[in-house]
Amino acid sequence: MISVAVLGCGYWGPSLLRNFAGSPCFRLVACADSNADRFERLAWRYPGVCFTTDYEQVLHDDAIDAVAISTPAATHYPLAREALLCGKHVLVEKPLATSVAHAQELVQMARCNGRTLMVDHTFVYTGAVRKIREIVEHEELGEVYYFDSVRVNLGLFRHDVNVLWDLAPHDLSIMDFVLQRQPVAVSATGGAHIVRPMMDVAYLTVYFDDGLLAHFHCNWLAPVKVRSIIIGGSKRLVLFDDCEPSEKVKIYDRGIDGVTSNDLYKKLVQYRLGDMYAPTLDTREALSVACEHFAACIITGQEPITGGAAGLAVVRLLEAAERSILQDSRKVTL
């Protein structure tokens, strides 16, 4: 059993506690948070766990093998860095860090120290996203033309990061995992309306070198919750609607047939309406799958699916997006 501690038990920490407590691979031993008020309800629920406001004590406790960091984004880097220095395996909430330089340093440190560094890109561990990856990998979509994501809500405002750093990591990590392709440029735009200059509405475009286009709409100020991704290909299209209670993934056997550019001025392009198919999905809780994977990587030494490199890839896109916004939305080459 891997002894694990959770750092930060605000919004996401309690879910980590619950999953580690319920996992056969981990022994949950400690939880640190600077705000002791948060311990009350939790301490009662996890009687054997040491709750403390002293992060240092946890990080330097040799009996602890791994830590999961779910503190504000700005503290991910310093805490993960110290944890790695102390020889811990580290699971960090997204984003891995708030700059490419920091993310790179963490990746480097984990590699040198032979420790597992994993980013909690939770969606990658859902049955839906794993199924979509499988579909794309088997080239069922044909050539992939575009990836369009909408993640909007009238919801929780974060005060540590803007809407782009809050919501886009989910969809960027899905894109990275599903497409397995290197983007070449990024542009972004957004608006700050409620608590200036904190951006609360943002649009992000990611460019690939063969015409593939990815686009992301992130919005804290929408009247309804939307969580949808469309991936359009030459043979089929996928719609992932995470707000559907079931049938979250639909595959449309629709496409565009037999067109050459000569036809262009002669006739309308022919398109084909085909069957739709919604595969059964693994319904295990994604975070539980992620925790198991973290354990497996610690034990075997393999690189996690959402390891430091995957975390860095997402931070790289976010940093480029920020730069684009500062430079009047121009396209920033990666």
Residues 118-147: x where in contact with a second copy by CB under 8 A, - otherwise, as a string: -------------------------x-xx-
DSSP-based three-state secondary structure for 229:
strand
Tell me which residue has tokens 């989910």. Answer: 170
By beta-carbon proximity to a second copy, the closer residue of 34 and 113 is 34
Instruction: Identify residue 250 by its one-letter amino acid code.
Output: K
For residues 176 and 25, give the distance between their C-alpha atoms in angstroms, rounded to a whole number. 28
Residues from 157 through 216 that contact a second copy (CB under 8 A): 157-159, 187, 189-196, 198, 201, 203, 205, 207, 211-213, 215
Binding segment toward a second copy, per CB under 8 A, in 63-71, 79-87, 294-302, 326-334: 326-334
Q: Using CB under 8 A, pick the residue from 117, 239, 313, 318 that binds a second copy.
A: 239
Question: Which residue's CB is nearer to a second copy, number 82 or number 285?
Answer: 285
The verdict on 288 binding a second copy (CB under 8 A) reads no
3-class DSSP assignment, residue 59: helix
β-pairing, 89-93 with 66-69?
A: parallel
The CA distance from 31 to 243, in Å, is 32
- According to the binding rule CB under 8 A, does residue 284 interact with a second copy? no
Q: Could you say which residues in the range 71-110 bind a second copy, by CB under 8 A?
A: none
Stretch that binds a second copy, among 59-67, 114-122, 287-295, 323-331 (CB under 8 A): 323-331
Q: How far is residue 334's CA from residue 322's CA, in Å, rounded to a whole number?
A: 12
Site mask for a second copy (CB under 8 A), range 8-47, x = bound: ------------------------------------xx-x
Tokens of 137: 């990998």
Supply the minimum distance, in Å, between the C-beta of residue 194 and a second copy. Answer: 5
With respect to a second copy, which residue has the nearer C-beta, 79 or 238?
Answer: 238
Q: Is 271 in the site for a second copy (CB under 8 A)?
A: yes
Q: Dihedral of the CA atoms 144, 290, 100, 209 (nearest 10)?
A: -10
Sort 71 into a burial class: Cβ within 10 Å, 0-12 / 13-18 / 19+.
buried
> Binding to a second copy by residue 63, rule CB under 8 A?
no
Between CA 69 and CA 331 the distance in angstroms is 33
